[in-house]
Chain A
């Protein structure tokens, strides 16, 4: 069975600092991996996805993630945090081509001025 673990339920960084949100997955087959963002009182929006093409994936709002098979990781980074990045972030996994998603627990990102 697939699973996703997000390390850290809360992450706090200063404006302009590096953002690093950690995600590790467990899957019996090479998976598809996703990062979603949820702003307060809104639904989820896709940030980026890995679907077995390039291992470094660039998404919206300056975020990127790198698929590392040897570490079973798909960490999300952004070089310089902005106040508007404050939100909850979810890592998710699916079987290749399947639409069913398995989500991690979520990480709430706070940006300090």
Chain B
């Protein structure tokens, strides 16, 4: 198992450019999510998905789009990058499981994005 993989590891964009951060998992997890990590702010949830075709907004969704066409992939799209989106982005996945049962989330290695 490769676990959760993210590409690219590093990316530099100019303001206004668009790009897609890729996330894939090979554990057949239903739940996938995207977080951004900023110094002194911990990780904040951007978007999440409880299964193919189902997505929802997290705490900081503005400026980001997602879709989930397969169980394995959950790409994050920046349509018009802004300097405020300079951050480290983490993808995570887990089983959804039964109500009242927490399933451990597995995190990818992250993508470090700089927007100039």
Contacts and interface: CB of A to CB of B under 8 A. Distances in A.
Interface of A: 4, 6, 9, 32, 41-46, 49, 51, 90, 92, 94, 96-106
B44 A103 contact: yes
A43 B45 contact: no
Interface residues of B, number: 31
A43 B109 contact: yes
Contacts of A6: 42
A42 B109 CA distance: 5
Contacts of A90: 42-43
Interface in B39-85: 40-45, 48, 50, 58-59
B114 to A, nearest CB: 15
Contacts of B96: 99
B4 A32 contact: no
Given A100-B48, A106-B40, 5 more contacts: A51-B101, A97-B101, A99-B102, A99-B105, A104-B42
